[in-house]
Amino acid sequence: MNNNTLRLILATALLLLIALTSAAKAGDITVSAAASLTNAFKEIAQNYQAQYPNAKVALNFGASGALLQQIAKGAPVDVFASADQETMGAAEKQGLVANMDRHNFVKNTLVLILPKDSQFSPKRLQDLTQAQVKRIAIGNPASVPVGRYTVHALTSARLWPALESKTINTQNVRQSLDYVARGEVDAGFVYATDAAIMNDKVTVAFEVPLDVAISYPIAIIKDSKNKEEAMRFIRFLASTQTQAILSKYGFQKP
């Protein structure tokens, strides 16, 4: 084998390696999703990668408002799934997502939960004004959708002024769930899907009445480096197998 042939083989191998590396990277996406989607999206991402071996899904969970701030500051995100319309609307106003790429994919409900061993048995929101209730966990309304839904419900019931001093703000819905599960608060507001994953440690007192739907929008980030893969992931959410997973975790169809 002469030197020219060897160089040709090495050059071909290098080009092939570059092509394979680029192809692998082309299938990589980062999905930033509301904390309440954690369990469902972990399972969905595993199924997605099993179906598309060349794809890799990195998941980033947190309060929707905090995720929006990360994206606005340039975090390399391809797909954003928010727990409310307000946060996604803010993303759209900031030019981070396009309206045409935005749609609702699941719904949820708001519930009041108690520690499993609690002797308190509220039947309505007004019962939270009782003296025995001293600490109530809610997501920080400034950045956590479940907190905004909670304040909306309490304001509609004309209870917010009486209960605000009892509230303990949390960074996301899962922290509220943990506070209740550990008995650090007397009650807490979370989504029904969150309560379901800790039904051995918390009790659902009742579903909180709301005059607005808790719908989750999802969209492709405008600066995504891999919009084709991002769109394929979003389409995957609508598949029968994925809808079954979302339903298993308690999410409802939009």
Which residues sit in the known binding site for molybdate?
A: 36, 64, 173, 191
- Strand bridging mode 103-108 / 214-220: antiparallel
Count the Cβ atoms, other than its own, within 10 Å of residue 237.
20
Is the CB of residue 230 less than 8 Å from the CB of residue 224? Answer: yes
Q: What is the DSSP letter of 35?
A: G
CA dist 46 → 193, 202, 214, 227 (Å): 20, 28, 26, 20
Cα 8 to the center of its chain, rounded Å: 50
Bridge partners for 113 per DSSP:
188, 204
Describe the strand order of the beta sheet including 103-108 as a list of residue ranges. Answer: 56-62, 28-34, 79-81, 214-220, 103-108
Residue 238 phi, psi dihedral angles, 5° rounding: -90, -5
Write out the DSSP string of 200-213. TTEEEEEEPP-SS-
Which one, of 177, 148, 143, lies nearest residue 66 by Cα? 143
| Residues annotated in a binding site | 36, 64, 173, 191
Helix (H) or strand (E) holding 103: strand 103-108
Which one, of 31, 28, 32, 106, lies nearest residue 69 by Cα? 32
